[in-house]
Amino acid sequence: MGMGDPLVIRTAAEMSAWSSAAHARGERIAFVPTMGALHEGHVVLLRDGRRRADRLALSIFVNPTQFGPREDLACYPRDLPGDLAKAAGAGTDVAFVPEVGDIYPAGFQTTVEVGELARGLDGPFRPGHFAGVATVVAKLFNIVRPDLAIFGEKDFQQLAIVRRLVADLAMGIEIIGVPTVREGDGLAMSSRNAYLTTAERVRAVSLSRALFAARDRAAAGEGDAAALLETARAALDVDRLDYLELCDVDTLVPVTRVDRPTVLAVAAFIGRTRLIDNVRIGS
Ligand code: PAF
């Protein structure tokens, strides 16, 4: 298991058949859904899945419904051979690589609508994004039928929404959140880092620096959200700030004091590249 290249499956029917056969053998399936352009952060998710289950499934699908009209769908990085090599190295058994028409066939018209958790942070800046994520994740879960699924904490709001989705729709899948994997200087790993020029890459580190500065100040005793946000803002070197917010970890509602577990989250443009990052504070 997990030796050599992963089996590449291109249709939903074949993927479900693979899953049924594994379950019939009494095997547990771990699932890592991705949009490809795999980096070390994804590899950590895959390794985690490898450890937790008998079978490890990965999906690679650049989901068009989670991109806005002015976003980067057309130029989103794609590298299937590179992805499969990394997946093999992490012990992946199967890579599900569907076509858009297999996930959204003619006549497709059902969408998962997300409530309060999609209202703040990325929600207003990316209308329809989380409905697109929730819909494709629900569909992938129904095709792959995993026992557990693994997501990165870098997309903190996405993770919260997926947890809610699984609970609200009684999907019976265990959701595992894995801490953000960072470059040596602190930059959160992201497929979109590939867009950064050398000069932009230098400035991109200011996101994590800003978050860490606020976290350090909180650890030193500062509990006032406004003061922590000011510390973070002062360290940012970005071209446009979409948001910098300190929120309750469960509800994602902004807080005024760190008197419970919170997440400090940022989204900003460096040049034309939009990056997000977050750290937990007070947990
Ligand atoms: O995090 C991602 O890569 C995507 O949002 C996901 C979960 C694979 C859904 O398309």
- In this structure, the dihedral spanned by the alpha carbons of residues 34, 38, 42 and 46, taken in order and rounded to 10 degrees, is 80
Whole-number pLDDT of residue 3: 59
> Does any domain span residue 73?
yes
Quick one: 267 and 203 in the same domain? yes
Q: What is the pLDDT of residue 4?
A: 85
State yes or no: pLDDT of 206 exceeds 60.
yes
Say which CATH number the domain at 150 has.
3.40.50.620
Nearest ligand 1 atom to the CA of 162 is 7
Residue nearest to atom 1 of ligand 1 (CA): 34
Cβ(225) to ligand 1 under 6 A? no
Query: What's the rounded Cα separation, in Å, for the pair 57 and 9?
Result: 10
91 lies in the same domain as 228: no
Contact by Cβ (8 Å): 144, 171: no
| Residue 2: pLDDT band with limits 50, 70, 90 | very low
End-of-domain residue from the set 178, 200, 220: 178
Asked if residue 132 and residue 16 are part of one domain, the reply reads yes
219 plus 116 within the same structural domain? no
Report the predicted TM-score, pTM, of the whole model to 2 decimal places. 0.97
| CA 234 to centroid of ligand 1, rounded, Å | 31
Which is the closest atom of ligand 1 to the Cα of 33?
Answer: 8
Please count the structural domains in the chain. 2
Would the CB of 165 count as within 6 Å of ligand 1? no
Residues 153 and 209 reside in one and the same domain: no
For residues 100 and 38, membership in a common domain is answered with: yes
Which of 23, 39, 42, 129 is catalytic? The answer is 42
Same domain, 54 and 174: yes
Q: What is the pLDDT of residue 1?
A: 45
Which of 178, 201, 235 is a domain's end point? 178
Residues 143 and 208 in one domain: no
Whether 173 and 197 map to the same domain: the answer is: no
Question: Exposed (0-12), middle (13-18) or buried (19+): which is 236, by Cβ within 10 Å?
Answer: middle
Helices (H), the chain: 12-24, 40-52, 80-89, 100-103, 122-125, 129-144, 156-168, 198-219, 225-235
Residues 87 and 204 occupy one common structural domain:
no
Query: How does pLDDT run across 64-98, given as a tens digit for each residue?
Result: 999 999 999 999 999 999 999 999 999 999 999 99
Residue pLDDT, tens place only, 115-170? 999 999 999 999 999 999 999 999 999 999 999 999 999 999 999 999 999 999 99
* 129 flagged as catalytic: no
Same domain for 153 and 272, yes or no, is no
Domain end: 178, 213, 243, which one? 178
Same domain for 153 and 220: no
What's the N-to-C CA distance of the chain in angstroms? 37
Range of the domain at 101: 7-178
